[in-house]
Amino acid sequence: MTMAQGATADSASKTLMGSVYDRLRRDIVDGELRPGARLRFDELKESYGVGLSPLREALTRLAAEKLVILEQNRGFHVAPISRSDLNDLLLMRQEIESLAILRSIERGDDQWESAIVAAIHALGKRQSLTAEGHIDPEWELRHRTFHDSLVAACDSPRLLLYRQQLTDHADRYRRLSHHYVSSGRDHLAEHCALSDAVVARDAEAANRLIRQHLARTVEIIQADEDLQKSGLED
Amino acid sequence: MTMAQGATADSASKTLMGSVYDRLRRDIVDGELRPGARLRFDELKESYGVGLSPLREALTRLAAEKLVILEQNRGFHVAPISRSDLNDLLLMRQEIESLAILRSIERGDDQWESAIVAAIHALGKRQSLTAEGHIDPEWELRHRTFHDSLVAACDSPRLLLYRQQLTDHADRYRRLSHHYVSSGRDHLAEHCALSDAVVARDAEAANRLIRQHLARTVEIIQADEDLQKSGLED
DNA sequence: ATTTCTATAATTTTCGAAAATCAATAGAAA
DNA sequence: TTTCTATTGATTTTCGAAAATTATAGAAAT
């Protein structure tokens, strides 16, 4: 029994490649690993404490999701960020999210509705910023739970898979822009309006509101000059 | 210099994992590797003539695209097929293809139009079936080229990536259903109507026609009782 | 000074063996 | 006869070293 360095509790009873994939993904999405950064195996072996095989597999998987880039015999890099990529991401998110919500509206049952009402309620009970001005992790969790609840009835594995991948990319941009929450934006009002439209099965309004919601986040990120320093180009 | 068994000419100057990925993908999409088939490393090493590392990486990449399934410590399998999966695939294809075409209609220039006209012309010059009743590879190539030409101006890397992945899945179902071409269907008429609508920038008609086109293919596949034997369940 | 070539160093890619895990079977106990 | 446990066998997963490739630095030539 060599298996020991299980790091995060939940990585128990998982393959090494599985847990190193999770950790790499989180580090990239959290911005710990900077956009464009070179990923050398010697360093990765050091910092993640695993051998080549699970590392290469995890990176290959991340490359398929476009969170990292693989260049022939020249190694892996964290995917760069750019304005045009952010615009492309917004476009796809608007289409995929709205599609998932519209299908959920068509197919959702009472239990689906209840989960949304519960999620928006829980979200409203929590401030997005802590006393120190940082984003509250618990708020982030409830925020994700709320958005997930909206699409939970869409009944399409592929739609949910693509949505998940796009959300990862969006989260990365969002977290690279530190103060994305503190821009005087009324999150709760937006979320409530969205929740109301969905629960009322108002497809037209839900479609309009989710697209607006996603677009506003991107506007804030685009305006963040700090992000230039993270390597945002065209 | 150990590199030698480059199989298909184009795999030169490519990494081993890259070419074994290409070969595995083709074998799966072509139905050579049956749905649900177990992929044991001993056998794969034998038949593809490479070591474990490039094989595992290639399979990991294919797993991310859902062409193969990875189960913890229980190996890789070719992704199974099912009616519900085929329906899910159709749903996503209709959305993604129509979106790509509509964006191309908005953004395409004269050169884009010309390429479509050229592609539909080339497609019309070729019979889909050979004298022996098989699908003509040259027709398949022109068919793909035509459909690609329709979306060539959509200007969205993510949209094109997802479209490519969905097309791979669709091609697999289509090829598992041997006589998908020979069902008395008038391909050329459908393609011409689609081409005309797109070149005329008639978004409404193009949207309707592409969705119909995709749905008809699925109808034929669903009706193919041969496919039951390939493992099509719910 | 600039370029080109060669030798060296750094890094990725691949292989083969060791370790870990899962499936199957046989044997013991109920 | 059935159920449970231990052992064997088959297979995946992981490691560490070898091979191949790319990058770097210095020397020679223009």
- Among residues A78, A93, A111, the one where a domain terminates is A78
In a domain, B1, yes or no: no
Residue A183 pLDDT grade (very low, low, confident, very high; cuts 50, 70, 90)? low
Q: Is B126 helix (H, G, I), strand (E, B) or coil?
A: coil
Is the distance between the Cβ of A50 and the closest atom of strand C smaller than 7 Å? no
In a domain, A8, yes or no: no
- Write the pLDDT tens digit of every residue in B139-173: 999 999 999 999 999 999 999 999 999 999 999 99
Same-domain status, A35 and A111:
no
Instruction: Examine the pLDDT at B224 and tell me if it is beyond 70.
Output: yes
In a domain, B3, yes or no: no
- Write the pLDDT tens digit of every residue in B33-91: 999 999 999 999 999 999 999 999 999 999 999 999 999 999 999 999 999 999 999 99
Q: What is the pLDDT of residue B191?
A: 96
Q: What is the pLDDT of residue A27?
A: 98
Question: What residues are paired with A135 via a beta bridge?
Answer: A129
Same-domain status, B56 and B145:
no
Q: Is A158 within 8 Å of B72 when comparing Cβ atoms? A: no
**Token digits of residue B209:** 């026609």
Q: What is the pLDDT of residue A12?
A: 59
- The Cα–Cα gap between B234 and B220 comes to 17
- The Cα–Cα gap between A151 and A99 comes to 9
Task: Name the nucleotide nearest A52; use CA and C1'.
Answer: D15
In a domain, A3, yes or no: no
Nearest CA-CA partner of B187 in B152, B160, B220: B220
In a domain, A94, yes or no: yes
Read off the DSSP letter of residue B129.
B
> Which residue is closest to D16 in terms of CA–C1' distance?
A51
Same-domain status, A131 and A168:
yes
Measure Cα distances from B169 to B4, B33, B43, B57, B65 in Å: 31, 14, 24, 20, 9
- Among residues B30, B61, B78, the one where a domain terminates is B78
Same-domain status, A66 and A88:
no
CB nearest to B159's CB, from A18, A61, A92: A92
Mean pLDDT computed over A184-206: 94
When the pLDDT of each residue in chain A is averaged and rounded to a whole number, the result is 91
- Write the pLDDT tens digit of every residue in A105-144: 999 999 999 999 999 999 999 988 888 888 889 999 999 9
Instruction: Examine the pLDDT at A191 and tell me if it is beyond 60.
Output: yes
Position of tokens 């690609």?
B148
Instruction: Examine the pLDDT at A171 and tell me if it is beyond 50.
Output: yes
- The Cα–Cα gap between A143 and A146 comes to 5
- What are the respective helix, strand and coil percentages of chain A, to the nearest 5? 65, 5, 30
Same-domain status, A113 and A186:
yes
Domain count for chain B, please give it: 2
Mean pLDDT computed over B206-230: 87
CB nearest to B61's CB, from A64, A159, A166: A64
In a domain, B59, yes or no: yes
**Token digits of residue B51:** 């070591």
- The Cα–Cα gap between B155 and B186 comes to 31
Q: Is A76 helix (H, G, I), strand (E, B) or coil?
A: strand
Q: What is the pLDDT of residue A130?
A: 85
Instruction: Examine the pLDDT at A35 and tell me if it is beyond 90.
Output: yes
For residue A26, the domain's CATH number is 1.10.10.10
**Token digits of residue B127:** 């019979």
Q: What is the pLDDT of residue B12?
A: 60
Q: Is A231 helix (H, G, I), strand (E, B) or coil?
A: coil
Same-domain status, A52 and A130:
no
Is the distance between the Cβ of A54 and the closest atom of strand D smaller than 7 Å? yes
Measure Cα distances from B12 to B4, B24, B129 in Å: 9, 16, 32
- The Cα–Cα gap between A20 and B33 comes to 30
Chain centre to alpha carbon of residue B30: 9
> Which chain A residues have a beta carbon less than 8 Å from that of B160?
none
- Write the pLDDT tens digit of every residue in A5-22: 333 345 556 899 999 999
In a domain, A142, yes or no: yes
Q: What is the pLDDT of residue B7?
A: 37
Residue A196 pLDDT grade (very low, low, confident, very high; cuts 50, 70, 90)? very high
Same-domain status, A185 and A208:
yes
Same-domain status, A61 and A135:
no
- Among residues B20, B54, B78, the one where a domain terminates is B78
- Write the pLDDT tens digit of every residue in A60-105: 999 999 999 999 999 999 999 999 999 999 999 999 999 999 999 9
Same-domain status, B51 and B88:
no
User: Contact A163/A151 with Cβ under 8 angstroms?
Assistant: yes
Gap from A44 CA to D1 C1', Å = 57
- The Cα–Cα gap between A219 and B122 comes to 45
Residue B234 pLDDT grade (very low, low, confident, very high; cuts 50, 70, 90)? confident
Q: What is the pLDDT of residue B4?
A: 35
- The Cα–Cα gap between B80 and B2 comes to 36
Is the distance between the Cβ of B3 and the closest atom of strand D smaller than 7 Å? yes
For residue A145, the domain's CATH number is 1.20.120.530
The C-alpha of A164 sits at a distance from chain B's nearest C-alpha, in angstroms, of: 13
Same-domain status, B87 and B49:
no
- The Cα–Cα gap between B162 and B165 comes to 5
Mean pLDDT computed over A144-163: 98
Instruction: Examine the pLDDT at B3 and tell me if it is beyond 50.
Output: no
**Distant-in-sequence, close-in-space partners of B227: CB < 8 Å, separation ≥ 6:** B81, B173, B176, B177, B221
Same-domain status, B65 and B103:
no
Same-domain status, B70 and B25:
yes
Measure Cα distances from B143 to B65, B123, B199 in Å: 23, 6, 17
Q: Is B99 helix (H, G, I), strand (E, B) or coil?
A: helix
Q: Is A56 within 8 Å of B57 when comparing Cβ atoms? A: yes
Could you tell me the residue range of the domain that residue B20 belongs to? 9-78
In a domain, B4, yes or no: no
**CB pairs under 8 A, 24+ apart, for A188-191?**
A188/A123, A188/A124, A190/A216, A191/A120, A191/A123, A191/A124, A191/A146
Alpha helices in B177-202 (DSSP H): 187-199
